[in-house]
Amino acid sequence: MTDRFRVTLAQLNPTVGDLDGNADRAMAAWQAAKDAGADLVAFPEMFITGYNTQDLVMKPAFHIAAIETVRALAARCADGPALAIGCPWVEGAELFNAYLICKGGKIVTQVLKHHLPNELVFDEVRLYDAGPLGGPYAVGNTRVGSPICEDAWHPDVAETLAETGAEFLLVPNGSPYYRGKFEVRLNKMVARVVETELPLIYLNMVGGQDDQVFDGGSFVLNPGGVPVVQLPVFEETIAHVDLERTPEGWRALPGEFVLHPDAMEQDYNAMVLSLRDYMRKTGFKKVLLGLSGGIDSAIVATIATDALGPENVRCVMLPSEYTSQSSLDDAKRVATNLGCRYDFVPIAEGRAAITHTLAPLFEGTKPDLTEENIQSRLRGLLLMALSNKFGEMLLTTGNKSEVAVGYATIYGDMAGGYNPIKDMYKTRVFDACRWRNAHHRPWMKGPAGEVIPVSVIDKPPSAELRPDQKDSDSLPDYPVLDGILTILVDKDGSIEDCVAAGYSRADAKRVEHLLYISEYKRFQSAPGTRLTKRAFWLDRRYPIVNRWRDG
């Protein structure tokens, strides 16, 4: 009986819909596994289609093409290790999220996902049928059990596999990042190991897909919950895991063990990777953004530079008569520090033309928010013109605090194709700027050092749309605003919860009102990196028309 079993883990970055490209990546990993003498090469959940496919997977032409792609891949991988890969599967009129086991040039086993997640960003009950509880599959004389992602978050699938002869568990995942997610996964998998007394290999996808970021961080546990392998986060890697047969059963041998960075670094890496992949997977090469001299546009410019390189980032200052000299100086310093292109496009002439055009209609009215928003919308028009002319995707720069309460101008500073900081509250943006000034990593394409001047971080936030304007004129101070939003949005709490936490009832009710009436703006906003379990888009879905208020 074989005493060693080698599994090659392909922690890779697929692209949704790129069936041939994903198959080629799988083929290259399979070849690496063959060269390393592996018995099995494993890929994440739904790897051949990419993940999360949303409704695309229900299109018959798509899921049939995906299955045929795996059949062709199996034929190419006939002479060598077995191949396990995520793919949709059809039986009769039912569509399943499946894990296909390929040997000898054919698909020989289909593992069908039993527990379909239907929360947060997942709608799998809408997409798939639930498979039955099944048993393990054989690779040589070794029996492997593969709970698919959510299946390993519940005890029944793993217990059934153990009871029917599985000798170790291989869990393929498409598990997207949110802050603190790794600890949640680890705790769930330790529970499965304790219950089954089997080694467990947790294999996760890596890469950005729309708002979601898959962070990798695959790991291996021995009975007792002892971690022996831990792969890096936000990084593609192919790793070989060796298991050895002992009198007590299979045990994984110690292998690569990478310590994971803190939450701030992971958030920042997520924003960089999600933008980089969004650009690469949609075909854009360059970006531009309005650089105001404020902290939000500064951090977005820095993220863009780290993701794409300074040669692919255009920063545009669009001043009005309300733009302070400090903002002019700070914006230019940010662009210079990063090494990006810097363009100076005053809006005074265009604004005067618009004011003249509207004068007959506005006669007899007083200047108000309308005139302020014209400035923002004119900037949006000019930035979109540059985007159209030069094929550069416009980034929008609103933080989660502003996105939540609608402190942004629709068709103005909300214009753009992607927003890396959409799920980061203002107070955390300050922290992210300080962190980036103090840290540099090999995956960053921007320069090291203090790229965001302290003057940008320390100045009072202002939209600069009227004389001496401050954000605090319109909103509670950001520590108060973010505290209330954390309760109302992230914790789904109530006005009473806010009061119990020490916030004034008036502030809480005002923020709640702004949150609800701004839903229409968020409905039309650009996608952005998901960093929490309550990001605006798939995690939190509220009606636009909503008259309900809490108390």
Give the dihedral of Cα atoms 203, 436, 282, 490; nearest 10 deg: 70
Q: What is the DSSP letter of 464?
A: -
Characterise 348 by phi-psi region: left (phi > 0), alpha (psi -120 to 50), beta (else). Answer: alpha
Please state at what angle helix 505-517 crosses helix 478-485, rounded to 10 degrees: 70
Instruction: With beta carbons less than 8 A apart as the criterion, state whether 466 and 372 touch.
Output: yes
Active-site residue flag, 244: no
Active-site residue flag, 113: yes
Please, what is the Cα angle at 11 between 5 and 13, to 5 degrees? 150
Between CA 67 and CA 73 the distance in angstroms is 10
538, HSE (Cβ side, Cα atoms, 13 Å)? 19
Between CA 492 and CA 476 the distance in angstroms is 20
Q: Cis link prior to 52 (omega < 30° from 0)?
A: yes
Nearest Cα residue to 336 out of 291, 286, 392? 291
Kindly give the pairing relationship between strand 94-103 and strand 82-91. Answer: antiparallel
Which candidate in 77, 102, 113, 281 is catalytic?
113
Q: How many residues does the chain have?
A: 551
Instruction: With beta carbons less than 8 A apart as the criterion, state whether 333 and 457 touch.
Output: no
How many CB atoms are located within 10 Å of the residue 19 CB? 23
Active-site residue flag, 340: no
For residue 172, what are the CA distances in angstroms to 251, 271, 325? 19, 24, 54
Quick check: helix, strand or coil at residue 246? Answer: strand
Between CA 130 and CA 124 the distance in angstroms is 9
Which candidate in 77, 87, 149, 498 is catalytic?
149
- Which residues participate in catalysis according to the annotation? 45, 113, 149
